[in-house]
Structure 1
């Protein structure tokens, strides 16, 4: 590659220590510690263990059998032939614990519904574990292994149950002779830069091995990483479950090299270095995508907090959690020291830049710093215990204050409680029941001597505040907040009132919500200062910011935004604070939210209403103007295609329409049916909106998919003023619907006399024919619209015009029994003897109520013939001739 370094590929045979067994060796173990020689807290836990924990059997797998497996087996898949020792905890001796190794690891995949043969340990993890355990079997005489997936019920089976193992497993980690750490693994990135830099670093380390032995060890470990193509994830050190497992080893003289291989350790350091320049939380399915069955995973015992068939976040399939990259980097900087931490930062930024650009030139010189870092990490592996503090009351108090953040990552909020609970309390609780999780938290608070404020704050951070039992202090706080009693609020907070309380389970309103709803600004300040959750929401999703915005409490909105409330929090239906401000016409809160950067185009989930759409629909012109001026998308509409301009046209809101047209809104966007703003304004009889759209260049002939135009629909509906506006603008009078009907035809059909006359004045075709030969006069006769018939005849239409089958207007009117139409047609001389193609005359098919009219003397008079506008006689007193 021009820089004197060959870059190996995964699996490529290399003349280096790629498969050397030393890469899987741990440091020689010290002598086993009996229970009597372990720290007092271990003995206290052991001696105080209740029988419901001490009597169920503990499963230890014979190491020789374990090493014969091709993959890790689930608890429920183990039978007697698989070789396991099962004894009540109380009966396992010091000698047996002296022959046992426990495994602390990160799951490589989330737990699915029970599936025969599934394992959350990926192939690469299992390979690493087998090699380490083989070394222990050969060198130390270890006979048994305890690992959660195999030794703890995963799907409710066995004589033990999941919570029993959650509670007592810390003692397994404390009493076992050794602990092996197996992290999750990621594929070495194939980005053209990473392998190049690592290979150059390995070569540089190898060159210095004669002077500094640690460099030779680091070179071999790094070459092994490149050979296998996988790198360990540093996330192991950011898990609450793996933390409490490491805590259990307190009081021993163990170092990092007693727990994990150098290859794994240096991979973790490299991963943490990458994260040193990443200040965001990354969603992972446990770890990163590596190999079958899936990737990442949860820390060892974390799985026990999940119901069978679900992940630990309550959904089926792989557990999704957040990896706090900044926290991970900090953990490793604390282990390695300040100098190494500065090196991590110095390497991380240019490395990230090189990878992003895909250029090795930006990575020049990084191998020197990286070699120095890995040398330091190797020394730390040999000398650092990285031991955690013992589980003391002081540690617990500090933990309760920060358990929601940093290094204490977990797949569920409840895990942060259950992981540490049995270090301090023996009590049988249901780990799935939120109220019992809260009870466990309160137990821990009492043990640590924590104030109610601390436990309440953690309950809020863990999204459990609504399950905290309400007491009198909380009631006083709620009442004071609701009425704006600042002194009462401050006193209740000081006394330990729950600022996170949701008083009414059915709607989950908090004191902050009530104060914001009523506009009590100083009370809102006091509650937020007392730890109230800014984004706590009712069951509908409505937050304090929502209710303040929709209630028009501008100063409360201002304060909440300044305090950090989520500006785009959502109702369950997707409505944001800005949306509800627009919906209610609260222009000042709306402006504040716009200035704060709130999303002006956030749509509702169901139909796609945006803030601008809802402001238009509710006719809040000031809000419409503010949104337009701030740059809201003026053409973004509903899921059915209706734009803000379309909605204006539909409702006839001319002032809002003019604002949109001034901003150059698209006049032709509309519904999926093809209806445009012009069309809907015509349909709903809004002539002034029609004029505005025409002035803005709107298409007067824009047709729907069914070919209906604005003139067609306004003619059908009889909106003569709209018709006249469109005709004056030159709309096509002969446009045809998909049936062939024109505006003239549909106006005649629907008895729109004024529209018919307007169209006649514009020389519209009065003889347009549809299927069967139907013309406007036929459709009018069929429906008995005598005034339309008169207008058409007066305009020159033949009163005896026939259909394809020979039927005349008189024939159709008689057939339907329209007496007034029959009378008029007879008086103007319509041929009453003209038969259809079947030989039937009008009188032959006439309804009974009009049959007699044909026998009356209704022959046209001179006046009738010269002036067909004369009133016809339809009086029931008329008699037939004799």
Structure 2
């Protein structure tokens, strides 16, 4: 009834029955004794002194607006302050503005959702969101409801907001995220559990800024393989997202040594050529890792399966460094550039030689690897093989190959005549891959070699009366018919190359005693 005693009209008297009051200037709520609060009308009393069925408030709402204001607040704000879920529900059903902007005298602005989150009223928070409240709406200080629940240490409220689409990528005016505020309030251990629970259940956590929060980076850092498949199935997940340091999830996995996570990411198609803010890459981080070999093995397997994305992993180089013949063969069939240089200017052949992998060197050489190339330090495959502490077999393979190439190309040599009795003269000499040594067109100048050696034979020394029968550059060849032929190179090292090359071709060629001799218009 109103002051005139008539029923049905809007109540016009206000009483001080409430136990709550608040300061309009600051927005601060004060708990006071009954009768000491700000005077307000019957509808406000019906909210605070709630009748279980809600009939009284429902009848009063026939005469007052659910958005009736008092000191900058509405009935809904008062219902939240009183933690009256039923009243909130009734008011929202009656059309109360769920996003009414509460403004204080000193310039603060916040919404009913912020008020509920600040007190940790989880059920009311969920109710407001179900009625269309935007979970990421901000206060004047850019704080969200999630941040306010984190500051207050309200775990259940935080979880409800998180699963309702609250954005973990936002920060307030102080640059603090919800997770940072949870850490400051001592809630972080509970929040971590909430995050992992969400990951395991496949719940999608929202983050508009991966520099602040990225679920993929969190999982990569923790190395939790169990939740990764669920996470990767979410359409919102970008494999190549980079954090504030420019790190991709793969880079984080390498830095923290989580091999299984890295393998899943690589096989899922992550780009390994991404660059961090300080120039870091997956490869540069691998080189610092205690698990470098294992990480590179994962990448090599991915490259062989055509799953690797990114241009800066030299799969052929890694296979060569490991001496993996099967991988080398497969990669060469795929068209990998055999003489490509890595970031240190090394070819695959150089790396195999340095590691002492003789068979890998042999395979690469047969496939066309250039042994003449040098790296940024001026080192060749041969010089690296000579420095190797693993094995000298690679040096031998390289020397054999170089020598064979050398004699197939041919060059000028002094040829001694009549087994040392005659005067030597220049000849263009070369070896054919059939084992035939030629220095002219006549039949006697095309001989099938049986063996070669450095120095001179006893017969040559006996016939060669002059001093110099044992010159450093002299070497001999024995033909299949037993004939001795002596040549002289300009230096002992050249003579050694000739001998090594001739013997290598003799060993590798299939020569029969009935080979028909031909005039020397041969091709090498």
- Taking structure 1 as the reference length, the TM-score comes to 0.27
Higher relative contact order (CA 8 A, sep 6+): 1
- Taking structure 2 as the reference length, the TM-score comes to 0.41
Structure holding more strand per residue: 2
